[in-house]
Amino acid sequence: MKFARLVLANLGRSKRRTILTALSVTVAFFLFASLRSILTTLDANAEVGSEARLIASSATGITFPLPQAHINRIQAVEGVKSVSWSNWFGGVYIDQRNFFAQFAIDSDSYLAMYPELLIPEDQRRAYLGERTAALVGAGLMERFGWRLGQTVTLQGTIFPGDWEFTIRGVYTPENPSFGDESFYFHYDYLFERTNRQVTPGWFTIQLDAPDQAAAIGSRLDALFENSSAPTKTETERSFQAGFVTMWGNVSLLVRAIGTAVFFAILFVAANTMMMAARERVGEVAVLKTLGFQNGTLFGIVMTEAIIICVVGGVIGIGLAVMSMSSFRAIQSFLPGFSVTPGTVWLGIGIAVVLGAITGIVPALQASRLSVVEALRRV
């Protein structure tokens, strides 16, 4: 560590250059952390679904409804603890751009199945006790500035007309990846207002034990295979994961961009390190004359490069952590968006590698420098 001062002094030689280089590394790692967090958040969202719950939807397609009559038959299957049913509502709040998910749920069975939804007890009772009540995520409340007890009107797209709901409950999710921008209301309200024409969009099935998921799933599908409405049953986790993959090949895109960022900054930083080294040929020769070993000089140059990259990287990742958590709008697209510790450590690791690569050429030059040649040039 006694060479630390030499390293620091070299970094301070051209402050502008050191700072600019560190800053370019900073922006690169800001991007790295932000982009990777998109992936980790998508992954986390794909895993938010439970393995102990099954979703049965129509084998014809997710948009096709299933008959009410399936409920009792599912309930009768061994290993099934309870069944709930829901429908996608697809209403519009004022403008189509204000998109958020709305579900008509069979509230008693649904809430019993979802301890993930944290609702104050009085609100839960108020919601369950009123036909046109709505249960709204805290994030959605914040997004539209809604208050508890407020009446909001949604314009039906699948179910025509104006639908009024009174917000009686606000939930917060147990896990941020679950999302807090959904809007739930009673299936019965939908059922009655559509003259009992509507049937469930999908069933949610709570199992006695998760290890039976595959077996019960195929048993259910076999049960309805020759009925008028065959089903496709999968665990809630794989059902959710299916939606995540619908965005397309985000991971490839992000990886491609990440690679480009890495190399762009590699070029910038490597160039700086080489420029810095070129200016110091004479000094390295002097140090060798004083008896500095080649390995020591290699280490000193390498350390400089790694310090620039790690300092830049840490600041960049830090900025990403700070700005991403305060960026509300992104939570609508990617609930639970955050920079994971894994990303932070991976980023620091990459910064070290980046520093090592940018430092290797100048470090080798320094250690292989011929003193006699260099001193002649001085």
Partner 1 sequence: MKIPIIYNLRSLRQRPVSTLTTALGMALVVAVFVSMMALSNGFQSALTSTGSDENVFLLRKGAGAELNSGIARDAANVVAGMPFIAKGTDGRPLVSAETFVVIPLQRVGGGGMANVVVRGVSLAAFDVRRGLEILEGRKFRPGSREIVVGRTFARRFPNSEIGGRINFGGQDWTVVGHFAAAGSSFESEIWGEAEQFMPVFRGQVFSAITFRMSDPANFAGIKETLEADPRLYVDAYQEKEFYDNQGTLLNQILNFLAVFIAGIMAIGAVFGAVNTMYAAVASRVHEIGVLLSLGFKPRNVMSSFLFEALLIALLGGAVGCLLVLPVDGLVTSTTNWNSFSELAFSFSITPRLILYGMVFAATMGLIGGYLPARRAAKARVADALRR
Partner 2 sequence: MPFVEIKDLAMAYYRDSQKIAVLEGVDLEVEEGQFVALMGPSGSGKTTLLNILAGLDKAESGSVIVDGQNVGAMSHKQLAAWRSRHIGFVFQFYNLLPVLTAFQNIELPLLLTHLSKQERRDHVRTVLDIVGLADRADHYPGQLSGGQQQRVGIARAIVSDPSIILGDEPTGDLDAASADEILTLLQRLNQEYHKTIIMVTHDAKAAERADVIVHLDKGVLTA
Give the interface with partner 2 as residue ranges (CB under 8 A): 2-3, 5-6, 9-10, 12-13, 282-283, 286-294, 296, 371-372, 375, 378
36 interacts with partner 1 by CB under 8 A = no
Nearest distance from residue 8's CB to partner 1, in Å? 19
Cα(365)–Cα(297) distance, rounded to whole angstroms? 10
Angle at the Cα of 81 (from 80 to 84), degrees rounded to 5? 90
CA 78 to chain centre: 36
Of 72, 55, 56, 66, nearest to 229 by C-alpha is: 66
Of 6, 46, 62, 348, which one interacts with partner 1 (CB under 8 A)?
62
Token pair 């709570």 in the structure block, residue: 206
357 interacts with partner 1 by CB under 8 A = no
Q: Between the CA of residue 136 and those of 16, 26, 200, what are the distances in Å?
A: 52, 39, 21
Radius of gyration over alpha carbons of the chain, in Å?
30
| Cβ nearer to partner 1, comparing 62 with 71 | 62
| Cβ nearer to partner 1, comparing 90 with 336 | 90
- Taking CB under 8 A as the binding criterion, the range among 189-197, 242-250, 292-300, 342-350 that sits at the site for partner 1 is 242-250
Residues in contact with partner 1, shown as a per-residue x/- string from 254 to 293 under the rule CB under 8 A: --xx--xx-xxx-xxxxxx-xx------------------
Residues in contact with partner 1, shown as a per-residue x/- string from 291 to 330 under the rule CB under 8 A: ----------------------------------------
With CB under 5 to 8 Å by kind, the binding choice for 2 among partner 2, partner 1, none is partner 2
360 interacts with partner 1 by CB under 8 A = no
Q: Name which of residues 140 to 169 contact partner 1 (CB under 8 A).
A: 155-158, 160-161
Binding residues for partner 1, rule: CB under 8 A, are 16-17, 20-21, 23-25, 27-28, 30-31, 35, 60-64, 90, 92, 96-97, 155-158, 160-161, 230, 232, 242, 245-249, 253, 256-257, 260-261, 263-265, 267-272, 274-275
